Structure 1
Amino acid sequence: MADVTILHNPACSTSKAALEQVEASGLDHEVVRYLRTPLDGTALRDLLDKLEDEPTDLVRRDPFFASLGLTDDDVRTREQVVAVLVEHPRLLQRPVLVRGQRAIIGRPKSRVPAFLAD
């Protein structure tokens, strides 16, 4: 089992930077390209159990979010977050790093080194 799992989007500069930091750390890691292999409801609930951020923070508020007619009211609860991300995986905030029983959203980039050092 890998020391660190990174939910990664190679088209995202912040995600690429986090992956570079993980690789430089020397920790054994697994890269999950979540757009190719979306997380199901069970995996998302497990991730939320570990996430140090608020569940709603896991959802990107970008133009796609708005084009779907979604608002903050649609992602207030854990179950709403799970439902939205199961249906629209591209709204998953990126990168997400998981280490043991802890997980963070790797934004801003400065959060990643401290997480890897713990």
Structure 2
Amino acid sequence: MTDVTIYHNPACGTSRNTLALLREKGIEPRVVEYLKAGWTKDQLQDLLKRLDRSARDILRVRGTEAHELGLTDPAASEDALIAAMILQPILVERPIVVTPKGAALCRPAELALTLL
């Protein structure tokens, strides 16, 4: 399988473990360091559709300003969450792996195996 993408943060242990697991399986994925590359609205909306999740489902709270920005408030809209994720890519939980079989937020890393 050569059509594999991982949205990766090299500072994250789970993200590093997921990348290593893919490589152990003989897969060299396209690695997108999303903290450097950033996000577009279209990218995030497409990714959420593939994940079958809402922006709230992939909102990273730990180690971010999500609380301070009001993003953990149940009244925060999908559009507000996506806009914040575009401005601060760290607000997206990681790693996310995309293959022709689907997409998953791979926490734990072994969830990536379900996509191979």
Taking structure 1 as the reference length, what is the TM-score of the superposition? 0.82
The alignment-based identity, stated in percent, is: 31
- What does residue 113 of structure 2 align with? 113
CA change 1:74–1:40 in 2 (3 A) is: farther
The whole-number CA distance in structure 1 between the counterparts of 2:24 and 2:76 is 36
Other structure's SS at 2:35 match: coil
CA change 1:19–1:78 in 2 (3 A) is: same
Structure 1: which 4+ aligned runs deviate by more than 6 Å? none
The whole-number CA distance in structure 2 between the counterparts of 1:109 and 1:28 is 16
- What does residue 24 of structure 1 align with? 24
CA change 1:6–1:73 in 2 (3 A) is: same
* Deviations 1:13-38, CA, capped at 9 Å, x for gaps: 00000000111222342000001101
CA offset at residue 54 of structure 1?
A: 4.0
CA change 1:93–1:15 in 2 (3 A) is: same
CA change 1:113–1:99 in 2 (3 A) is: same
1:18, 1:95 within 8 Å by CA — same for their partners in 2? Answer: yes
Give 5+ residue unaligned stretches, structure 1: none
CA RMSD in angstroms comes to 2.2
Count of aligned pairs between the two proteins:
115
1:53, 1:104 within 8 Å by CA — same for their partners in 2? Answer: no
Give 5+ residue unaligned stretches, structure 2: none
- Is 1:44 aligned with 2:26? no
